[in-house]
Amino acid sequence: MLDFPPFPSVRRSILSIGFLLLCAVSAFGAALPPIDLGGVREEHVMIPMRDGLHLSAYLYFPAGDGKWPVVFEQRYAEITGAGSRKGAADIARNGFVVAAVNYRGTHESEGKWVGYRALAWGEHQDGYDICEWLAKQPWSTGKVGTYGGSQAGFAQNFLAVTQPPHLVCQYMTDTGLSLFQEGYRIGGVTRPNRFQAADKLARDPADNEALLREWDAHPDYDDYWRQEDCSLHFAQMNVPCFTLGSWYDFMCQGSVASFIGRQHHGGEESRGRQQLLIGPWLHGGVKGNKIAEMVFPENARWPSLEHLTRWFAHYLKGEDNGVEKEPTVRYYVMGAAGEPGAPGNVWREARDWPPAAEPVSYYLREGGALDTAPPGFVGAVTITTGAGSVTADNSASPSDHYLSDPLHPMSMPGTAFLGARDARPFEQQSEVKTWTTEPLREPVEWTGEVTAELYVSSTAPDTDFIARVSDVYPDGRSMLLMDYPMRARYREGFDKEALLQPGKVAKLTWHVGQTSLIFNKGHRIRVTVASTGAPLYEPNNQTGGPQTIDWMKDAVPATNTIWHDAAHPSRIIAPVVKAGK
C-alpha cells in the first residue's frame, strides 16, 4: 500500500510578450487567434494519406534546432481550442514535436467522415500513415509515440493493431476497444440522437447521416462491428503502453480490458511491459481530487503531464528515469469523502488486475431490502396491471414492477455518466426501484468488476434494464458509483436477438462497472433498477422491431417486473476484499 504525496498543479511558464506567436494559416485560410505558447512554435500542415487525401494537423515544435522524437494524438473533436493548443505546447516544451490530427472528414481534414473505420486495418489506415509520415520528417528522430484519451484512446488501440514500424510506445487515458460495446452501443442500447450531433463536426453533414443509416443496417454484433473491435487483435499490439483509467467512467471497462489484453496476449514487445493506473476520476478532464460532488484527499491527484513526459522521455529518448520499473498496477481505493479517519483513500500496488477478491452476492429482497442472505420460497402470485398480467413460471414470488414508457422516460440528464453525484433525484422518480442494505456494522471493500444478474419479465417483447450502485452516506446522500444498461433482446449474446415472451421470466446477466471502494461503517449499499433514463440512455421502443434512428415513432409502454424469490434470486455480484488481505 502506498500514498502519493500531493502534487502541485502543472505550472505553465510565464514568458514575455515576445514569445506570443501567431499561428500558421489553416487550409481554409483563417488564422487561429494569437495565443502565448511559451516559446513553442505552432504550424499547420496537411498530412498525405495513401489514397492521396490529406488530414489536418497542427504541429508544435520546441524552441531551438535539432531533431526530436514525435508524439501525436488523433481526434474527431476540435483540436484548435486554446486548451488543446496549450496542452500540446506543454508537452512540446519537454523536447518533443507534438502533432494533433483530426480524423478523416472532420473539420479541415479531407475525405468522407466514416467514424473510426478509416483508423483500422482495412482499406484506409490513417493512423499508420500519420505515424510513418511524422517519423520521416527532417525534424524527427524517427521515434514516435501516441497519447490521448477517449476517442484518442480508441485511435491508439486501432493504431497498435496496424503495427507502424516507427511506433515505439503509447499513453492512453480512459480508452476503449469496441465501438459496438463502448461507443455507438452500450449494453446493446442504441444511441442515435447522441451521434446525430456528429453532423456538426463532419465537413459534409450528409456523411454522418449516411453513417447512421449504415449502423441501422447492423443492429447486432456482426462482421461489420468486428472491423471496429480491437479486442480481437491483441496479438498484433506490440508496444509498451501506460493506461490511465477512471473509476467514475463507464469506459473503465475498456481501460482495464486494454491493459489485460496487451499485457497477457499482446506481441513480444507488449507482454509484460504494460502499466495500469486507475483513480477516483470522471471520464477525461483533469485527474484531480475534486470530482463532481466529491472531494477526496490531495493524494488523489495524478500528475498527468509530468508522468506522460517521463514515459515518453524513457521510451523515445532513452532516458534512464526508472518509469518502466514502476508498479505494473496502481489503483486508488476510495473511501468515504469528508469523513476523517475513514478507511480507504489510499493507493495500492498489484502485479496484475484484478486483485484477489471473493465474489459476494447482494440479493434484491422484498420491501426494498438488499441482503447477502438469499430470498426464501414463497407461493405463487400473479400481478395484474393496466398493461397486462405477469405470472412467474415455477414458483412465485415477491417482485417489484413498474411502468416503462419510452415516450415518457425517467430523467437522467446529459450525455455523460453522472457518477460521484447524489443519485436521489433519479431514485425518487416514479418508475424507479431501489434496494438498500441496513447500515453496515463494519467497513466493506469492493475491488474489481461488479455484475448484475436479474430475473425479469415484461409485457413487451423487448425492453431495457439499467442497474446502478451507490454508496449511501449517513446523511442520506446516495453517491453514484456505477451504472450500465442492458437491452433484453441481447441477453443470449450481442450477435443474436432473443425477444422476450411476454409474462415469462428471463434471466439477464451483465457488466455494471469496475470500482475500488471501502464502504464505511454506518453507510449503506444501494442498488437501483429502472428501464428508462433519458437522454443519457435513449429509450427502447419496446416493440421488438428494428433499431433505427426513427424507431421511436412506434413506441409502446410496458410493465416490467423484477423477480426476487428463491427460484429467481436477482442479485448484484460484488468483488469483496476481506479485511487484512
The pTM of this model reads 0.91
- 191-221 pLDDT, tens digit each: 888 899 899 999 999 999 999 999 999 999 9
- Domains, the chain: 20-178+228-350 (3.40.50.1820), 358-577 (2.60.120.260)
- 460-501 pLDDT, tens digit each: 999 999 999 999 999 999 999 999 999 999 999 999 999 999
Average pLDDT of 401-417?
96
pLDDT of residue 2: 39
For residue 353, what is its C-alpha cell?
Answer: 488486475
Q: According to the per-residue pLDDT averaged within each range, which of 17-31, 301-315, 385-399 is highest? A: 301-315
3-state secondary structure 508-539: EEEEEEEEEEEECCCCEEEEEEECCEEECECC
Q: Give the max Cα distance, the chain.
A: 83
Range of weakest confidence among 167-171, 238-242, 379-383, 503-507: 379-383
Pairwise CA distance, residues 68 & 92, whole Å: 10
pLDDT of residue 377: 52
- 240-286 pLDDT, tens digit each: 999 999 999 999 999 999 999 999 999 999 999 999 999 999 999 99
Q: How many helices (H) and strands (E) does the chain have?
A: 10, 32
The single-letter code of the amino acid at 553 is K
For residue 246, what is its C-alpha cell?
Answer: 477512471
DSSP label of 202: B
pLDDT of residue 397: 53
